Chains A and B, each alone.
Chain A
Amino acid sequence: MENLEIILPEIFLSLTIMFLLLFGVFKNNSSKLIYNLTTLSLIILFALLLNLYQVSDLSIFNNSYKVDSLATFMKLLTIGSGIFVMLTSSKYIEINNINKMEYPILILSSILGMMVMISSNDLIVFYMGLELQSLALYVLASFNRENLLSTESGLKYFVLSALSSGLLLYGCSLIYGFSGSTNFNIILDNSSSVQYGITFGIVFILVGLAFKISAVPFHMWAPDVYQGSPTSVTTFFAVLPKIAALSVFIRFLYVPFAEMNDQWQMIIIFLSIASMIFGAVAAIGQKNLKRLIAYSSIGHMGYALTGLAAGTNQGIQGSISYIAIYLVMNLAFFSCMFMLRRNNEYYESIEDLSGLSKNHPLLSFSLLIILFSLAGIPPLAGFFAKFYVFMAVIEQKMYFLAIVGLLSTVIAAFYYLRIIKIIYFDKEKEKFETDHHFGLKLTLAVSTIFILAYFIYPSGLTEIVSKINII
């Protein structure tokens, strides 16, 4: 028997899911309890993973499942943000009447799928993780059954995602056909000569992955799904699947096909440029905050991909740092959205923020910090995210990519400024409620302080990330 203890977190999570499912079925009205147990189990999971952090570069199941520094760090990010998503949304799901016992369990299974994706070193394992994650997400998107938009978004996501999974599977089969294996390392050995079949396979898989992180031109689903899903699910959508998909991107591109980077580099560059420009331009006209953040996340994914285009360890590390900072900013932003509550109703239009600074100085100050950080203005954390990525890109002398990227930050700055303008310069409206859940306040405080004070000690993140060497 192989040493199973390195996948202890996954085993623990699977058992938790099964236990909670049984528990929920046999005990009535247990949704609140299950919700809290879920948060607790995520915290335990986080601790377990931290414990495993020293263990590096292990693999199990015939080298098809990897536990290395990349996997552990990305899992920590996933679970960490999972905890905060749970903390922020507890009140929201109560008020919107979606606190069913399935809700947290679906979140857990989706996280399990992500963990499998992150660790996968094999096309089949990766696909299994992806589907586990996606299936849970389809249901979550349409969780608010009485809401038309929510149902629509679930269906839309399902149809489009199924299509992309189909393309992805087709790519997998092409690669299997031409290289004779699904294992990344064996593919690496078998595909030294240039074979068109493999190139096609790479393209199809990249399409599928680009869909998952909503990179242009495979972004169509994102705005509708972001807007339609319950905000708690949107928070989840905006952060966690991106971490998992990005780590698959890294492993898939840099383990089997690192030497073929002339074949796929152009695709990544195109995806990132298109996403950066489209994300910046399309967000300008938006009126709904969730829709706006959907476009903004399309743009941000463009920046994360920029790092991957560089084709170096520095670039990969840049992308990982980017996603780490991005998720903090997004969590902070969504915590602010959860605070826009009046008489048990949540507000999500930009106009509702009008004059917020008069009545809620602290909340608007946090939003100010978050939005400037999303725009990438120094000395906030968002600037460093971009800085790391462009550092790698310019090292490779890809000046065009760097210039396009930074110019689109200027365009993007416009719509972030527009929100700040509405918050700070416009006439005030009615007050929002201020009695927020402790978890929500904690999340907002922690993330805002992280964004604001990141520049004091930026080496913390870089030191951790610099240990991740894929190439």
Chain B
Amino acid sequence: MDFPIISSLIILPTIGALFILFTKSSNSKYQSSKYVALFISLANFILSIYLWLIFDKSSINFQFVENREWLSGFINYKVGVDGISILFILLTTFITPICIISVISTIKHRLKDFLIAILIMETLMIGVFCSLDLIIFYLFFEGGLIPMFLIIGIWGGERRVYSAFKFFLYTLLGSVLMLIAIISIYWISGTTDVEKLYEIGIGEQYQKLLWLAFFSSFAVKTPMWPVHTWLPDAHVEAPTAGSVLLAAILLKMAGYGFIRFSVGLFPIASEYFVPLVFALSLIAIIYTSLVALMQEDMKKLIAYSSVAHMGFVTLGIFTMTQQGIEGSIFQMISHGLVSAALFLSVGVVYDRNHTRLIKKYGGLVTVMPKYGIVFMIFALGSLGLPGTSGFIGEFLILMGTFKKSFLVATIASLGVILGAAYILWMYKRVVFGEIIHEEIKSMKDLKKFELLILLLLAIPIIFFGFYPEPLINSIETSVTSLIDNYNINLTQSIAKK
């Protein structure tokens, strides 16, 4: 493949951002910036679809690999995709235009800067999902902090400064340990090239510490209990589009990291730490679901539900079964769509009524019937009703978990019930019931663009709920090879003993 398609995917949004930076548009409207941002993000989406189509799903190797000398002598710029990463790229390129549409129509204040931040974010996120070198991965992974910090801080709510700082420092603290681990890997194995590391493996004696260092970073980003506290704050204060980016894509970086690096590079340590991850995941599922039940702020509720859903994801990954890992990936994609949609739905009513408190609503269905329907789809998607994509993910994860441990799976299933409880209860209080507050009566139903973006999200949620084959098909070979590699490593290590 001569055409550097992956690099184009990475670099295109940045070019768009530069273009926006240097175009002068009238201060109040930013017409040209809007169209450039939308055009670039759509072009990127089409490019990624094209990538998905020409992608060979039966191969276990990384494809479209580009390998260029970067830091001469020791680190190469290496990117490529396999079945797993391509789905996350698609998710990113799909969510970004939706964010942009939502931003264009809701944000008035410093719109141009916001568009630039989102496009830079897209570059960094795609970079994370296709980098095949640990250092390159780290650059993209950490670089995302800068635009996100600004998005929360500039366009956020009242306590935005506190939330932005908390977000930044928490994630930075987790990541510096990962940097130490990455550099150590370089000195232990002589390379940070992921493909080569898969082949040669990392010495057993180092694996546990390295695993913990990576874990500290991913656990904060996922976020896992007990380091999840930055997420509700960040979500509540971030503007709608910021929340969408955060929930839909940024959290997935960590799940992706677990699959690609923790499991892929340190199989022996992963096996060793399975009980730890299971325990933390179960606490996340049960505890944060209970916390979500008590929330009065809609965004906070969805934020806590994200923590619970990501608990399922980590649970599934560390079952090390075909179903578990496939389920986790599916759950991440599905959660990316559903949580984005939920945040956008909250954004819709927030724009009208300027509050996110559940008790300030009630009876929305009489004034906003269309809203009631789409919001219902997303609520059901979030609780994992059969026929939505949420169901497939959770079902596969639980199936994988049952293989590994009956008890864990039983407790996790409780989380499904709690999940239904908090989301339906919120839905009931917001949409159904009598209209108590006068302001509600004057609220208008969905505008065209709002309906458009929400429907755009609803279609894949339902489509993949009924027909998950395209997604499963694309990850199957990669997951199989991951698990094979994992098991080979384990048996070798047992044989040595």
Contact = CB atoms under 8 A, between A and B. Distances in A.
Interface stretch (B168-176, B268-276, B374-382, B418-426): B168-176
A394 B184 contact: yes
B143 A378 contact: yes
B177 A403 contact: yes
A468 to B, nearest CB: 15
Interface in B183-225: 183-184, 186-187
Contacts of B169: 410, 413-414, 417
A377 B146 CA distance: 8
Interface stretch (A34-42, A341-349, A458-466): A458-466
A417 B149 contact: yes
Contacts of A394: 180, 183-184, 187
Interface residues of A, number: 31
Contacts of B26: none
A463 B71 CA distance: 9
Contacts of B164: 417, 421, 425
A395 B74 CA distance: 14
A379 interface: yes
A18 interface: no
B41 to A, nearest CB: 21
A341 to B, nearest CB: 25
B71 A459 contact: yes
Contact of B176 (A399, A410, A417, A420): A410
Interface string A397-428: 00100110011011001100100110011000
A19 interface: no
If over half of A's interface residues share one DSSP class (helix, strand or loop), that class is named, otherwise mixed; here it is helix
Interface stretch (B153-161, B288-296, B391-399): B153-161
A391 B72 contact: no
B149 to A, nearest CB: 7
A54 to B, nearest CB: 20
A462 B153 contact: no
Contacts of A420: 149, 153
A425 B180 contact: no
Contact of B153 (A372, A390, A425, A455): A425
Contact of A424 (B139, B140, B153, B180): B153
A406 B180 contact: yes
B143 A409 contact: no
B43 interface: no
Contacts, number: 84
Interface in B12-60: none
Contact of B71 (A377, A402, A462): A462
B142 interface: yes
B239 to A, nearest CB: 13
B69 interface: yes
B62 interface: no
A421 B165 contact: yes
Interface string A356-372: 00000000000010001
A361 to B, nearest CB: 8
B143 A413 contact: no
B176 A425 contact: no
Contacts of A383: 139, 142
Given A377-B146, A463-B72, A410 B172 contact: yes
A425 B183 contact: no
Contacts of A462: 71-73
Contacts of B160: 425
B138 interface: yes
Contacts of B138: 378
B173 A459 contact: no
Contacts of A425: 153-154, 160-161, 164
B161 A421 contact: yes
Q: Which of A410, A462, A466 has the most CB of B within 10 A?
A: A410
Nearest to A406: B176
A377 B148 CA distance: 13
B70 interface: yes
Contact of B145 (A377, A387, A421): A377
Contacts of B172: 377, 409-410, 413
15 contacts: A368-B150, A387-B179, A387-B183, A390-B179, A390-B180, A406-B176, A406-B180, A414-B169, A417-B168, A420-B153, A421-B153, A424-B153, A425-B164, A455-B139, A459-B73
Interface of A: 368, 372, 377-379, 383, 387, 390-391, 394-395, 399, 402-403, 406-407, 409-410, 413-414, 417, 420-421, 424-425, 455, 458-459, 462-463, 466
Which 3 A-B residue pairs are closest in the complex by CB-CB distance? A459-B72, A406-B176, A378-B139
Given A425-B160, A462-B72, 11 more contacts: A377-B146, A377-B172, A387-B183, A390-B180, A391-B183, A399-B184, A410-B172, A410-B173, A421-B161, A421-B165, A466-B73
